[in-house]
Amino acid sequence: MAQIAKPIKPKSKPVLSHSVSFTDGATDGACPQEFEVFKGTLGPNVIDVGKLYAKTGYFTYDPGFMATASCKSKITYVDGEKGILLYRGYPIDELAQHSDFVEVCYLLLNGELPNRKQKKKFDYDVTMHTMVHEQLTFLFRGFRRDAHPMAMMVGVVGAMSAFYHDALDITDPHHRMISSFRLIAKIPTIGAMAYKFSIGQPFVYPRNDLNYAENFLHMMFAVPCEEYRVNPVLAHALDLIFILHADHEQNASTSTVRLAGSSGANPYACIAAGIASLWGPAHGGANEAVINMLSEIGTVKRIPEFIARAKDKDDPFRLMGFGHRVYKYHDPRARVLRKTCHEVLDDLGVKNEPLLKIAMELERIALDDEYFVRRRLYPNVDFYSGIILRAIGIPPHLFTVIFAVARTVGWVAQWNEMIEDPTQKIGRPRQLYTGYGPRPYVPLDQRGKHDGGTRQ
């Protein structure tokens, strides 16, 4: 990570940089329209197209938001070309080295690192909210034991609005703060309950003498009949995974939370929407895909066969856990986790476990292979988090739940920022309509067999 010579302060308003003109080809450039260009603290400038339709009668077309800034934000910055990730200006590797997850939560929510007194109070407040309403525990019984834990997460987190409706006025900052604490503190409890329910074990209540990651491991793996001792190496690795996944600017699930929240929906409904979006394999499911791929490879001897398949343009197979849409340099989160991954495997003495041996050999070959080097396909965060989570003993179908636990603070911070933004409006994208033009209704007895009556 490059040293940051002089801190750049956040901007209270976007700064007008210059303007660009837009000319409609059809009018031969007769009436160009000017559009303002805003400059953020870092990153590309943005053209303000808010008045484009009013001025020109045009919409913009940008499926997948490849070149569209959907909001302004002071929370997280990603530079994929340089491999930089900043939370409130602090480089992710420095936070991973010196901070802990609950302190990172404070930072993301409040914009600054806490002083000693603030940190103590924040830790206490999170810890004191970890238990869930006892009635909520009965909700789980309505699910099948083999339900996907993310299905339970979507349902139970959405249902929190029915349990904590004493603080649902989103215009009241105090209510928002209470809901934020409840979400961040209770999400690990709910995630662990989803796991316990799926394996038929009793729920384990949180323990206030443990830190966030230790408590999660305790709720996941303790049973009433024997003492469970949290392994500090595993707790530290999990805390790092939480830090590294806490926010990643306007990704699909965060944008979902913002869009749901833009209508004034309550925070639990918005976070449930974020969890639903995260569930998709193109977003939160990649580390599970890494483990499935390693199982499919099965033995170190078969690695060359799979590398060859990954390079073969006629084969849809890709090496899971390699490459990134934004990071075209090392994923800074992967750099941190790689080291931790080796520490965890050493501590557990499982370096010779077949799946992990395949992973390490695959990493070695791919980092050396001209195909991957030339395309800048480095192992991404999911490659290492999948291996670590598996070594910790977390089953692959629960990996996305871990991601949801970590990302809840990012969603909550982004939701709060949106509500506090005086220029915030309900999100309402436009479209390029490609369907029928107006046509007369066709009575049932005049419709063809297969075409709904469009042809006579």
Is residue 93 annotated as a catalytic residue, yes or no? no
Shortest reach from residue 188's CB to ligand CMC, in Å: 20
**Which of the ranges 60-68, 177-185, 267-275, 321-329 carries the binding residues for ligand CMC, by CB under 6 A?**
321-329
- Alpha helices per DSSP H over 315-380: 332-348, 354-368, 370-374
Contact status, residue 319 vs residue 293, Cβ threshold 8 Å: yes
197 or 399, CB closer to ligand CMC? 399
3-class secondary structure per residue, 164-221: CHHHCCCCCHHHHHHHHHHHHHHHHHHHHHHHHHHHCCCCCCCCCCCCHHHHHHHHHH
Q: In what order do the strands lie in the sheet with 33-39?
A: 15-22, 33-39, 46-47
Under rule CB under 6 A, residue 399 binds ligand CMC: no
Out of 152, 272, 377, 409, name the contact with ligand CMC by CB under 6 A.
377
The H-or-E segment that residue 86 falls in is strand 84-87
Other C-beta atoms lying within 10 Å of the C-beta of residue 368? 9
d(CA 400, CA 394): 11
Work out whether 319 is an interface residue with ligand CMC (CB under 6 A): yes
Of the candidates 165, 159, 189, the residue with the CA atom closest to the CA atom of residue 272: 159
Interacting stretch for ligand CMC, rule CB under 6 A, among 33-41, 349-357, 378-386, 404-412? Answer: 378-386
**77, 106, 268, 322: which one contacts ligand CMC (CB under 6 A)?**
322
Both tokens of 126, joined, read: 């999170």
Q: Which stretch binds ligand CMC (CB under 6 A): 119-127, 187-195, 258-266, 379-387?
A: 379-387
The answer to whether 448 and 455 have CB atoms below 8 angstroms apart is yes
Q: Which of residues 29-88 bind ligand CMC (CB under 6 A)?
A: none
List the interface residues with ligand CMC, window 283-302 (CB under 6 A): 286
For residue 142, CA distances in Å to 102, 138, 183 come to: 32, 8, 22
- For ligand CMC, give the closer residue by CB, 219 or 401: 401
Instruction: Considering the complex, state which of residue 320 and residue 341 has its C-beta at the smaller distance from ligand CMC.
Output: 320
User: Quick check: 324 binds ligand CMC (CB under 6 A)?
Assistant: yes
Check binding of 145 to ligand CMC (CB under 6 A).
Answer: no
Q: Rounded to the nearest 10 degrees, how much is the dihedral formed by the CA atoms of 249, 255, 258, 262?
A: 140
Q: Which amino acid is at 347?
A: D
Tell me which DSSP letter residue 273 carries. H
Task: Pick the binder of ligand CMC from 51, 325, 339, 351 (CB under 6 A).
Answer: 325
Indicate which residue of 245, 382, 397, 451 is catalytic: 382
Q: How many residues bind ligand CMC (CB under 6 A)?
A: 15
d(CA 136, CA 187): 13
CA 388 to CA 375: how far, in whole Å? 26
Q: Which stretch binds ligand CMC (CB under 6 A): 184-192, 194-202, 374-382, 432-440?
A: 374-382
Taking the complex as a whole, how short is the minimal distance between the CB of residue 328 and ligand CMC, in angstroms? 8
- The answer to whether 413 contacts ligand CMC (rule: CB under 6 A) is no
Task: For residue 411, state whether it binds ligand CMC (rule: CB under 6 A).
Answer: no
**CA angle (125, 75, 174) in 5-degree steps:** 40
Catalytic entry in 129, 236, 248, 324: 324
**Contact assessment for residue 258 and residue 71, using Cβ atoms and an 8 Å cutoff:** yes
Query: How many whole angstroms separate alpha carbon 161 and alpha carbon 32?
Result: 50
Please count the other Cβ atoms lying within 10 Å of the Cβ belonging to residue 230.
19
Report the residue from 83, 188, 274, 323 that binds ligand CMC according to the rule CB under 6 A.
323
Closest distance between ligand CMC and the C-beta of residue 106, in Å?
Answer: 23
Residue 346 is a catalytic residue: no
Looking at 76-84, 102-110, 169-177, 318-326, which segment touches ligand CMC (CB under 6 A)?
318-326
Answer for which of 40, 261, 267, 321 binds ligand CMC (CB under 6 A) is 321
Q: Identify which range of 121-129, 220-228, 377-385, 425-433 contacts ligand CMC by CB under 6 A.
A: 377-385
- Interface pattern 154-193 for ligand CMC (x via CB under 6 A): ----------------------------------------
Contact indicator for 75, 42 with CB cutoff of 8 Å: no
**Site residues (CB under 6 A) for ligand CMC?**
286, 310, 318-325, 375, 377, 380-382
Instruction: Report the catalytic residues.
Output: 324, 382
